[in-house]
């Protein structure tokens, strides 16, 4: 088995690897179906979203560092919250601090699952996720994935730090 470093994996296969991590996280911990989405369909769904929650997490692995962000609509965030915690949606609405925490943990798990599968067995560190409200999904300068989870749009952006090994354009 070859030992691959993280920067070497920021390539055409990265999109599939990140999507695989997202799908695994969505299914195992959130009981949700994740499917890839083309740009036109994603933009049509995104146009109906009044506000997004954007969760970003920084990562470092050896010489490589960067950040991953997950952007999703409020309504999807709330559905994921109920799925993860097992709370009944008919109960009182959750506190937004708790939803933000959960969205941060979602990004943490997706990033961690991707790195665990891609970093050639090496350890990595993840920063504490930050969650902000935004009018649009985070664009990112590197890889961008458009996905639907239970028919709601979610965008994943992956960016490597400048000055470290540069990211190639991804799928």
Those residues whose C-beta lies under 8 Å from the C-beta of residue 155, and which sit 6 or more positions away, are: 42, 46, 70, 71, 72, 137, 138, 144, 145, 146, 147
C-beta of 16 vs 139, nearer to another protein: 16
119 binds another protein, rule: CB under 8 A: yes
Sketch the per residue contact string, 42 through 81, with another protein: x for CB under 8 A, - otherwise.
---------------------------------------x
One residue of 10, 32, 54, 77 binding another protein per CB under 8 A: 32
**HSE-CB of 27 using CA atoms within 13 angstroms:** 10
Task: Give, for 147, the enclosing helix (H) or strand (E).
Answer: strand 143-149
16 binds another protein, rule: CB under 8 A: no
Q: Residue count at the site for another protein (CB under 8 A)?
A: 41
126 binds another protein, rule: CB under 8 A: yes
**HSE-CB of 3 using CA atoms within 13 angstroms:** 2
What is the phi-psi region of residue 33: left when phi exceeds 0, alpha when psi lies from -120 to 50, beta otherwise? beta
Distance separating alpha carbons of residues 71 and 162, to the nearest angstrom: 22
In the region spanning residues 76 to 115, those forming contacts with another protein, defined by CB under 8 A, are 81-88, 98, 101-102, 104-105, 108-109, 111-113, 115
One residue of 16, 33, 44, 134 binding another protein per CB under 8 A: 33
Residues near another protein (CB under 8 A) are 24-25, 27-29, 31-33, 35-37, 81-88, 98, 101-102, 104-105, 108-109, 111-113, 115-116, 119, 121-128, 148
């Amino acid at each position: 088995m070859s030992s691959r470093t993280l920067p070497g994996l920021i390539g055409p296969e990265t999109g599939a690897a990140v999507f695989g991590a997202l799908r695994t996280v969505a299914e195992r911990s959130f009981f949700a179906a994740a499917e890839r989405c083309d740009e036109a369909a994603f933009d049509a769904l995104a146009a109906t979203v009044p506000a997004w929650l954007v969760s970003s997490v920084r990562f470092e692995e050896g010489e490589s560092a960067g950040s991953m962000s997950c952007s999703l609509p409020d309504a999807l965030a709330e559905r994921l919250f109920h799925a993860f915690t097992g709370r009944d949606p008919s109960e009182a609405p959750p506190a937004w601090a708790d939803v933000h925490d959960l969205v941060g943990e979602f990004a943490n798990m997706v990033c961690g699952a991707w790195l665990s599968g891609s970093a050639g067995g090496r350890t990595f560190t993840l920063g504490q996720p930050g969650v902000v409200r935004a009018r649009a999904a985070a664009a990112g300068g590197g890889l961008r994935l458009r996905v639907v989870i239970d028919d709601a749009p979610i965008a994943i952006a992956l960016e490597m730090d400048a000055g470290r090994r540069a990211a190639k354009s991804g799928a």
